[in-house]
Structure 1
């Protein structure tokens, strides 16, 4: 049996160091707080969350998981970084968030344990941080019920994304800590699409996420050249 965990210890340590700042909207996690309403509304426009069993893979401090629970979903957030998970649990307790739970478990392990258990699976801003993203895609597909929805968001790999997501966001604008992203791990939509098809997921649509540094505003668009989101349905 393969007991290798599909996670980079340096990546886990990186986000654990910042865990106490996760829920500070003016911290390094400000971009996540700003894009969360956009991605939440997009997910909810495709599948009403009320009453749904939802899994958030790579949930970190729980920003998306918490907001989906507040839309009426029964949410499980999973991650392999202990400190952000503790922050997520503490926030849920302090905020009185209903119907939410967190577990420190790998997506692949949970897929073996609970296949076809969730109506909706989300995996946001995570694929570009793991050694084998295609394995995560397969696990997410396994975890979804037949006909269920799976959502991913990640960063395209091209010169523009290098300029915007690394040079711009980390070095010029200092919106993110230096070293947050590694260009070689960025994922082209064609690559993500192939992994999804191989895992039995049908693409339902993609959306781009853009940012204006002058107005400090994010918005959804059809431009997937840098940040993008993908929606899939699991074939029955």
Structure 2
């Protein structure tokens, strides 16, 4: 069975036409994308590298990595966002990014050890078995390759900030975007990373200032956080 939740796929498919509107429900993705892109590029130096973006949605990160000179494949199981991503790349003239409707586990079986860089951002909390996605990401990476994840911590503060604050008070996201029970504690993700044979390299937190409306990377992983890993070279 495919490791996907039909309700989650439908949720993002229904909003696909708004994906590249920076003032839409996807405004937070547009705002955080430069932060995560720079962080990935600083560590992995993506120019000239082969990259797969797992759970790429409408292609915001995938296309931006291609603009930095990477050869990028974006994969997702939601058809409408993929079509939006393809159309946007074509209209923007970004030729070094392509998209496929394929599960991470299937691509890992098809192309093990193929990619220099694997990214899986804001996706793990939307699938039934996130540990399987972590394993697939590790399998797709070349020896010595980089693997990046981002997700949401599970604690009272993250419920307050990521659901009540972001979805109901500040209305940064549509109501129902996240399900608290699916949030992932750093210790849980760390265990899956180790079990997949990856080495931790860096944890980063991501914060939001509601007064300035500015996102920033920091050391506070209590709500949103990112993880950089490497696959051992030998």
Instruction: Name the CA distance, whole Å, in 2 between partners of 1:128 and 1:83.
Output: 20
Q: What residue number does 2:75 align with?
A: 78
Instruction: Name the CA distance, whole Å, in 2 between partners of 1:58 and 1:47.
Output: 19
Q: What residue number does 2:18 align with?
A: 21
Contact 1:54 1:73 in 2 (8 A): yes
Q: What residue number does 2:208 align with?
A: 211
TM-score, normalised via structure 2 length: 0.99
Aligned to 2:91, what secondary structure does the other structure show? helix
Q: Report the Cα offset of residue 118 of structure 1.
A: 0.0
Q: Report the Cα offset of residue 47 of structure 1.
A: 1.1
Q: What residue number does 2:185 align with?
A: 188
Q: What residue number does 1:199 align with?
A: 196
Alignment length (residue pairs): 233
Instruction: Name the CA distance, whole Å, in 2 between partners of 1:51 and 1:42.
Output: 17
- Deviations 1:28-60, CA, capped at 9 Å, x for gaps: 000000000000000011011111000000000
TM-score, normalised via structure 1 length: 0.98
- 1:227 is aligned to 2:224: yes
Q: What residue number does 1:128 align with?
A: 125
Instruction: Name the CA distance, whole Å, in 1 between partners of 2:126 and 2:107.
Output: 19
Aligned to 2:56, what secondary structure does the other structure show? coil
Aligned to 1:102, what secondary structure does the other structure show? strand
The answer for unaligned runs of 5 or more in structure 1 is: none
Q: What residue number does 1:97 align with?
A: 94
| Aligned counterparts, 1:88-167, within 5 A | 88-167=85-164
- Deviations 1:181-232, CA, capped at 9 Å, x for gaps: 0000000011000000000000001100000111110000000000000000
Q: What residue number does 1:35 align with?
A: 32
Aligned to 1:206, what secondary structure does the other structure show? strand
Contact 1:70 1:98 in 2 (8 A): no
Instruction: Name the CA distance, whole Å, in 2 between partners of 1:7 and 1:72.
Output: 31
- Deviations 1:65-105, CA, capped at 9 Å, x for gaps: 00000000000000000000000000000000131100000
The answer for unaligned runs of 5 or more in structure 2 is: none
Instruction: Name the CA distance, whole Å, in 2 between partners of 1:47 and 1:174.
Output: 34
Instruction: Name the CA distance, whole Å, in 1 between partners of 2:142 and 2:130.
Output: 21
Q: What residue number does 2:44 align with?
A: 47
Contact 1:57 1:121 in 2 (8 A): yes
Instruction: Name the CA distance, whole Å, in 2 between partners of 1:149 and 1:47.
Output: 6
Instruction: Name the CA distance, whole Å, in 2 between partners of 1:45 and 1:114.
Output: 26
